[in-house]
Amino acid sequence: MTPYPDSDPAAGPLPEAVDGPQDAPGSRQETGAASPDSAAPLPLEQPGGTPHPPATSAGSAATAASLLELALTELQGRRAGLLAEIAGLEQQRDRIRQEIGAHAIGQSELIANRVKGFQSYLVGALQDLAAAAEQAELVVAPLVVQPSPLDQAATAAETVSAPAVAGQFSQDDDLIRGALARYGGQPDFYADPWKLRRTLEPAGAALLEEWFLNQGGRGAQPSGGSRNRNVLVAAAAIAVLGELYGDRFQTLVLAGQPERLGEWRRGLQDCLGLEREDFGPTSGIVLFERAEALIERADRLEERGELPFIVVDAGEAAVAVPVLQFPLWLAFAATPGEIASEEDLY
């Protein structure tokens, strides 16, 4: 075999033909099979091997950016509105807290004091009512026969009259002044019941000296500015009357509200060292809400030959006319400030 003209003798002989039929030139085009050279062109690749994006990707990115910016603007507007609303709610919360701090505490204390005073008065009134019911005697009223004039004269001679008040305090001025001076010293917390255990202020001592020696135990005096001071003055008067008359008198306190009566009860208990049993129809001090009941009680005391000592609270607008007929009564005249505070409380 003769080598090809341009072949290299050193390259060696060409490979022999493979056994079997071989395709003739142009046979692939005739069979209709797709040639690798005739396939659709592939997209160009970038140096990293990633194909180029489509031409529409730039427009989509701009649209997404505009939508994102619009959503962000809307969210910022909503955020600003919510912040303004939160600020307004916080201001309203602070204002409500200030109002609660200014009014709720005072109102709660006021309600608690009123409830406590009414509870104390109600418990005492129920106990007094139970004691009176136990002591009541259900008997048939006897037939009363009109006595003859001779019997009336004999009965009048034997009747013990009530202790006279008018004109007698002037004879006891040393005792009264000495007791008032003693009450102005150090308080005696361990004194016997019905003795003053608190210190009487000079103003209160001067008030009682005026009431005893110049008014004869019948008249009104200016209030001390608070119910506690008035209770202290009344307790000192009760202590002085106890030294003068012993247990032949009974104190009747008139106050138109249960809360006021509760304050009188607690104050007299503290100033005179009394117990709850010392308040009641058969005890030394009786509390009244109505002037009619007090006047009826005072009449019964005088019928039995005892002396009623009537004390009128400063909260009463006026003194009932029938009270003026009794020999011992002390009314406290409230100041304009006290009247205004009483109207606010009750």
CA atoms lying within 13 Å on the CB side of residue 342: 19
The neighbouring-strand residues paired with 332 are: 221
Burial class, 321, CB count within 10 angstroms (exposed 0-12 / middle 13-18 / buried 19+): exposed
Alpha-carbon gap, residue 319 to 308, rounded angstroms: 16
Alpha-carbon gap, residue 330 to 316, rounded angstroms: 12
Say what percent of the chain tops pLDDT 90: 41
- Phi, psi dihedral angles at 209 (to 5 degrees): -65, -40
Q: Strands across the sheet with 218-222, in order?
A: 218-222, 328-333, 307-312, 249-254, 285-288
More confident residue, 226 or 170: 226
Alpha-carbon gap, residue 33 to 258, rounded angstroms: 120
- pLDDT above 80 (res 56): no
Q: What is the pLDDT of residues 189-225, one digit of tens each?
A: 889 999 999 999 999 999 999 999 999 999 999 998 8
CB 339 within 8 A of CB 229: no
More confident residue, 204 or 7: 204
Alpha-carbon gap, residue 293 to 312, rounded angstroms: 13
pLDDT, averaged across the chain: 77
User: How do 285-288 and 249-254 pair as beta strands?
Assistant: parallel
- pLDDT above 80 (res 110): no
Mean pLDDT on 107-130:
79
In this structure, what token pair is assigned to residue 61? 């990115």
Predicted local distance difference test score (pLDDT) of residue 21: 40
CB 236 within 8 A of CB 329: no
Question: Residue 45 contacts by C-beta under 8 Å, 6 or more apart in sequence?
Answer: 51
| Burial 246-277, CB ≥16 within 10 A → b, else e | eebbbbbbbbbbbbbbbbbbbbbbebbbbeee
Predicted local distance difference test score (pLDDT) of residue 29: 37
Q: What is the pLDDT of residues 23-35, one digit of tens each?
A: 444 434 333 434 4
More confident residue, 344 or 230: 230
Q: What is the pLDDT of residues 243-292, one digit of tens each?
A: 999 888 999 999 988 899 999 999 999 999 999 899 988 888 999 999 99
Predicted local distance difference test score (pLDDT) of residue 169: 82
Predicted local distance difference test score (pLDDT) of residue 140: 47
> How would residue 123 be classed by pLDDT, with cut points 50, 70 and 90?
confident
Say what percent of the chain tops pLDDT 70: 71
Mean pLDDT on 9-21:
43
- Phi, psi dihedral angles at 63 (to 5 degrees): -65, -45
| Burial 3-16, CB ≥16 within 10 A → b, else e | eeeeeeeeeeeeee
Predicted local distance difference test score (pLDDT) of residue 190: 87
Predicted local distance difference test score (pLDDT) of residue 104: 65
More confident residue, 236 or 123: 236
CB 335 within 8 A of CB 223: yes
Predicted local distance difference test score (pLDDT) of residue 207: 95
- pLDDT above 50 (res 67): yes
Predicted local distance difference test score (pLDDT) of residue 101: 72
Mean pLDDT on 163-168:
50
